[in-house]
Amino acid sequence: MLTLRGLTFDAAAPRIIVPLFARSLGALRPLAAAADADPAAEVVELRLDPLPEVDFSAALALVRSLTDKPLIVTIRTKAEGGELALIPDTYAAHCRALLAQGGVDALDIEWKACGPHRDALRNA
């Protein structure tokens, strides 16, 4: 059983997760606001891979400013069906920076993409 921001996750209580997938911060804002306003949206997933890498920190700050719902952050790599081709060192650096920034309740780790950083990211 897992609890994030007061919301408990277990097999007996499936949760609705709303993914936010946008190619710009301007397009992300209304998606995050809509997810926050919808009571059926229990969890928000911020997909960062469609955004330019320089916007990752700003995207996290933006979404966190618009919702207090549990937030899963994902950087899906091309190898895993996403938009960015990242080497393990760069992928891990982005993940560490997001965790250090705060506001991430759960980090969806690309197990293959993080390579030798796998255990450190899992433990972070």
In this prediction, residues 23-35 reach a mean pLDDT of: 97
pLDDT exceeds cutoff 90 at 16: yes
Determine the pLDDT at residue 124. 86
Domains defined for the chain, CATH in brackets: 15-123 (3.20.20.70)
Both tokens assigned to 42: 């229990």
Could you give the dihedral angle defined by the CA atoms of residues 45, 11, 121 and 105, in that order, rounded to the nearest 10 degrees? 40
Q: Which residues pair with 84 in a beta bridge?
A: 77
* Residues forming a β-bridge with 10: 13
Is the pLDDT score of 60 beyond 90?
yes
Residue with the bigger pLDDT between 45 and 5: it is 45
What pTM, to 2 d.p., does this model score?
0.92
- DSSP type of residue 48: -
Residue 46 pLDDT:
98
Rounded CA separation 78/84 (Å): 5
How many DSSP H helices and E strands does the chain contain?
Answer: 4, 6
